[in-house]
Amino acid sequence: MTGKININVTAIRHVAFEDLGLLEPMLEDLGFEINYVNAWELDRQAAEMADLVVFLGGPISEMDELDYPFLPD
């Protein structure tokens, strides 16, 4: 590919060990700038400014609110 694109990607993770896995090197090779944001520290304005937002999975469900109080947000 000759021209790279300049797109800001915000990946929102729900646990600290999550990442984009195999997608990360592919996106970086295409010129995507990747920023990770922890859901419990979510800056909504930063996420809204991103060109692409990816919500990562995790071992958490909506029933885990007591252990993860940030979930309702």
Does any domain span residue 1? no
Domain count, the chain: 1
Is 73 within a domain?
no
Q: Is residue 71 part of a domain?
A: no
Q: How confident is the model at residue 4 (pLDDT cuts 50, 70, 90)?
A: low
Residues near 54 by beta carbon (within 8 Å), at least 6 away in sequence: 9, 10, 11, 12, 20
Is position 69 within any domain? no
| Domain range for 31 | 7-64
What would the pLDDT profile of 49-66 be if each residue is shown by its tens digit? Answer: 899 999 898 788 888 888
Cα 66 to the center of its chain, rounded Å: 23
pLDDT tens, residue by residue, 13-52: 988 889 999 999 999 999 999 999 988 887 778 778 899 9
Asked if pLDDT for residue 1 goes beyond 60, the answer is no
